Each structure stands twice: as structure tokens, then as C-alpha cells.
């Protein structure tokens, strides 16, 4: 009975994928709508499970989570399907009232069953990867609440959302076998981290890597040489950590080296040597981490990195140097779109995502000001991955250099938070990001492309009108002077015209 809703949703997703046509960003509204309905359904399933054991206290808390999430998205849902969304909203509120009043559990479960069956009638988004990404974003937020507030309902909702994501991915596997293998490994790590209730920033970083693999938006050429240097520096820190017996810190450094750095190097390495990439992935992602988890001798860990990982990294760096310059050259020669050359759906979507980013940045400042660097980092990461990466899609084809600049700003913000930099530095970089958000919206929407001509036309019209009025008034005065035979005063009019 528990898996009934899962299979309903999966059938809908399979049907949608069979008619898949990748229309890019314009499809996101439909996919986001489906994601909200899916997450609501997963939360409802937990409410039902609590009612099946007559646990009204947990059922009420799950119902609160469900209503809070649905209510947070109600404006967006109404914009897509107003009648349906309001109908569901009322039913959810009525259900919560019934749970609070402790009505008969069978009647309440029947209401939930009807709601879940209604959800299966919702047309599903065509890109299951974006749906999974959205579900994982909510899982990330719920896990943070679970750890910070010791909230068991948020924790079990996190587990259910992750499980649901894996089911959808299994039914809609990615065609790239290497990427599928990597995602499988990431999800296994995610299960382990969540089961052990690890730090939510570490879990969030892993979710970010999974989402990056799913939506594949990191395509801009970046300073690859610098990333190789960063990885080497991180391994130097790892040596220090294992020598001091701090295996927990060593594991986090190993994860950072792979997830936040090596992941960006993979596409280039794959082009020059797939076997080398596979070897590096296995060694960095699995073997090294396993040695650290098993708390093997520090000398063995250091020797493994020096003999198996670093030489392959050097080889990969040398092989991809020429490729990077070729890619950069071809990228610069690629025909770009003009400012404002985006669909109406893209323009509307960019505006909405930028509004969300502004809220996330405000949260980042608020958390950091309170000294909660973990929450600040999570908000900053969410601002980039959950929103700006969708802004990048139409922005990149218009101005890739500017897009890269903003990406670096977000990366700088996250690094400053990690380093616990002064509040002034955090505020300064956020101010810079806000300015570039305005510019991003202007570039995509085309606001400003007609501004010069509009300003000229308006100014010219005002000046012409005022000039015409002046000529008419001067003509009337001159006519009056001639009619009254006071021609001697005309010279003063001429003086005034010359002075003007």
C-alpha cells in the first residue's frame, strides 16, 4: 500500500518520457509544476502511514509540512492551473483540520487516497531529470531542518524524497553509462550520509553534485589549470589531517576535491582518455574514501594518493591543455544570440528565478550575521544551483563571458562563507551579485535595447513641442506690437531670442 503512490507517479513519468521532446527552458514551468505535485504526494504518503498506526501527532506534523510546502508554491501553481490548484489547496487544509480534530482515521486515509489518485491525472513534465533535481532540492531543505531542529518528520520526509528520486531515475536511466554509474555511487553515498545524520553542508554538497550531473549545465569553459592546483592543495591538507588522526576532516576534504573540483574536469578528460577518467573516478570517489572510512594507516593513504591519483591527474592535465585552448577558441567563435533574443517563457522564467535568488541572498546575509555559517552556505548554494543555473541557460547563449563572471561571484561567495570572512566582505560580494542579477535580467529580457531610441524620441518630442509653443507665442507678441504700432519694442523680443 505504501508504494501505491510511488508507482502511480512513475507510470505518469514513464508515459511523459515516451513522448519526450527536449524544448529546454520553456518546459521548466510544466516540470516544476509536476515536481510540486510529486513532493506534495510524497509528503501525503507519510501522513497516511502515520494515520494507519493512529499516530495523529506525527500525522499532524506531516500534514503541516505538506501544507507549508504547497502554500509556499500556491501562487506559481495558480498561474499554471488555478482551479485545480485551489481545489487541492482546500482539500489539504480540510485534511489538516480533520487530523487536528482527530476524525476517524479511515475517513482521513480515504481523503488522502482520493488526493493521490487526483495527482496521477496531472500531466507530467517531460524531463524527469529536472523533476528529480527539484525533489532533491526539497530533500536538502528538509534535511537541514531535521539536523538543525532535531525534527524527525523532516528527516523521514528527506528519506522518502531521496527514495522517490532514485525510483524515478531507475525508471528513466540516463543513456551515458559512465554518468549512470557515477550517479549510482553518489546516491549510495547520499544514503549513507543521511542514515548517519552527517553535517547538512556535506549532504548538500553531494546533492549539488547529483543535480549537476542530472541537469548538465556546467558547460562554460573555466580555468581548468587552477582546478588541478586546487585539488593538489586539498590533498596536501588531507595529508595533514590523516597524519593528525582526523579522519572525519580527511573524508570531507576528499569529497570536496572530487565533488567541487574534479567534477568540472571530467568532460575534457573523457574526450582525451575515457579509461584514464574511469581510473581517476574510481580512485578518487571510491577507493580513497573507503581507505579513509576504514581508517587505514596514514602512510598507506598518502602513498595511494601520491602513486595512484596525483600521477594520473598530472597526465590528465597535460593531455587536456591543448583541448582546453581549442574549446575556448571554438567557444569564442560560436555565433551568439543578441540581447533580448529569448522566448517569452524564458524571459518570464528568468524574472521569477531572479526573485527567488534575491530572497536566498537575503537569507544568506541573515544567517551569516547570526553566526550560522552552515545555513548561510546552504542558502548561497541554493541560490546558485536551484535558481541561477536555470537563468544561465538562456543567458549563456547571449553573453557567455558575463555568465561566467556571475558563476565566479557565486563561487567566491561560497568560499568566503567557508573561510568565515568578515561580514563586510560577504555583503560586498552579495551587492555585486545583485547588480549582476539586474544585468542578467536586462540581457535576457532585452530591457534597455530600445531605451536610447525611446529616450531620444521622447526628448525630441518635448523639445519640439516647447519650441513650437515658443514660436507661436513670439509670433502673437510680434503681431500685437505691429497692430498697436509699437514696433520700437520689437528689438527687445529679438534680444530675448538671442539670449535664449
Residue 296 reports pLDDT greater than 90: yes
Round the average pLDDT of the chain to a whole number and report it: 81
131 shares a domain with 84? yes
Tens digits of residue pLDDT in 208-246: 888 888 876 544 445 566 889 889 999 999 999 999 999
Domain end among 406, 425, 445 = 445
Domain end among 445, 471, 486 = 445
Would 356 be classed as within a structural domain?
Answer: yes
162 shares a domain with 13? yes
Would 180 be classed as within a structural domain?
Answer: no
Share of the chain above pLDDT 90, in %: 30
160 shares a domain with 268? no
The count of structural domains within the chain is: 4
349 shares a domain with 282? no
382 shares a domain with 322? no
**By the 8 A CB rule, do 425 and 412 touch?**
no
Q: Which domain holds residue 379?
A: 344-445
Q: What pTM does this model have?
A: 0.59
Least confident of 158-162, 209-213, 246-250: 209-213
What integer pLDDT is reported at residue 1 of this predicted model? 47
User: Which range, 16-20, 76-80, 276-280, 328-332, is most confident?
Assistant: 276-280
437 shares a domain with 350? yes
**By the 8 A CB rule, do 109 and 52 touch?**
yes
155 shares a domain with 21? yes
For the chain, the first-to-last Cα distance in angstroms comes to 88
CATH number for the domain harbouring residue 424: 1.20.120
Would 249 be classed as within a structural domain?
Answer: yes
Amino acid at each position: 500500500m505504501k508504494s501505491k503512490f510511488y508507482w502511480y507517479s512513475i507510470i505518469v513519468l514513464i508515459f511523459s518520457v515516451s513522448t519526450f521532446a527536449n524544448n529546454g527552458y520553456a518546459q521548466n514551468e510544466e516540470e516544476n509544476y509536476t515536481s510540486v505535485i510529486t513532493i506534495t504526494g510524497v509528503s501525503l504518503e507519510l501522513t497516511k502511514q502515520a494515520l494507519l498506526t493512529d499516530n495523529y501527532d506525527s500525522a499532524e506534523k506531516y500534514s503541516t509540512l505538506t501544507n507549508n510546502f504547497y502554500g509556499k508554491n500556491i501562487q506559481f501553481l495558480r498561474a499554471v492551473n488555478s482551479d485545480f490548484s485551489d481545489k487541492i489547496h482546500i482539500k489539504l487544509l480540510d485534511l489538516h483540520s480533520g487530523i487536528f480534530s482527530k476524525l476517524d482515521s479511515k475517513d482521513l486515509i480515504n481523503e488522502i487516497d482520493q488526493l493521490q489518485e487526483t495527482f496521477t491525472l496531472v500531466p507530467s513534465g517531460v524531463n524527469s531529470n529536472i523533476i528529480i533535481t527539484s525533489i532533491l532540492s526539497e530533500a536538502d531543505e528538509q534535511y537541514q531542518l531535521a539536523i538543525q531542529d532535531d525534527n524527525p518528520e523532516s528527516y523521514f520526509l528527506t528519506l522518502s524524497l531521496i527514495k522517490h528520486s532514485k525510483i524515478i531515475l531507475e525508471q528513466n536511466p540516463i543513456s551515458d553509462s559512465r554518468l549512470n554509474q557515477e550517479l549510482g555511487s553518489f546516491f549510495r553515498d547520499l544514503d549513507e550520509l543521511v542514515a548517519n545524520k552527517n553535517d547538512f553542508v556535506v549532504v548538500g554538497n553531494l546533492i549539488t553534485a547529483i543535480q549537476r550531473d542530472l541537469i548538465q549545465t556546467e558547460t562554460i569553459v573555466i580555468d581548468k589549470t587552477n582546478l588541478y592546483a586546487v585539488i593538489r592543495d586539498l590533498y596536501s591538507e588531507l595529508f595533514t589531517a590523516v597524519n593528525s588522526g582526523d579522519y572525519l576532516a580527511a573524508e570531507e576534504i576528499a569529497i570536496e576535491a572530487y565533488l567541487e573540483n574534479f567534477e568540472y574536469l571530467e568532460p575534457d578528460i573523457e574526450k582525451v582518455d575515457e579509461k584514464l577518467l574511469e581510473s581517476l573516478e574510481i580512485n578518487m570517489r571510491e577507493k580513497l574514501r573507503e581507505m579513509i572510512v576504514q581508517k587505514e594507516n596514514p602512510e598507506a593513504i598518502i602513498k595511494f594518493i601520491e602513486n595512484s591519483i596525483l600521477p594520473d591527474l598530472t597526465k590528465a592535465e597535460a593531455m587536456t591543455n591543448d583541448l582546453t585552448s581549442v574549446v575556448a577558441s571554438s567557444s569564442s567563435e560560436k555565433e551568439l544570440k543578441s540581447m533580448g533574443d529569448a522566448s517569452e517563457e524564458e524571459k518570464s522564467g528568468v524574472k521569477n528565478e531572479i526573485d527567488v535568488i534575491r530572497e536566498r541572498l537575503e537569507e544568506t546575509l541573515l544567517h551569516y550575521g547570526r553566526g550560522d555559517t552552515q545555513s548561510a552556505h546552504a542558502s548561497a548554494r541554493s541560490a546558485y544551483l536551484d535558481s541561477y543555473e536555470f537563468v544561465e541557460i538562456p543567458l549563456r547563449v547571449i553573453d557567455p563571458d558575463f555568465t561566467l563572471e556571475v558563476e565566479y561571484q557565486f563561487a567566491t561567495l561560497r568560499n568566503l562563507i567557508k573561510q568565515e570572512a568578515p561580514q563586510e566582505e560577504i555583503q560586498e560580494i552579495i551587492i555585486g551579485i545583485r547588480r549582476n542579477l539586474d544585468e542578467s535580467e536586462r540581457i535576457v529580457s532585452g530591457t534597455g535595447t530600445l531605451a536610447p531610441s525611446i529616450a531620444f524620441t521622447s526628448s525630441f518630442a518635448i523639445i519640439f513641442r516647447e519650441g513650437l509653443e515658443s514660436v507661436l507665442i513670439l509670433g502673437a507678441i510680434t503681431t500685437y506690437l505691429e497692430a498697436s504700432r509699437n514696433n520700437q519694442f520689437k528689438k527687445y523680443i529679438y534680444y530675448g531670442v538671442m539670449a535664449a
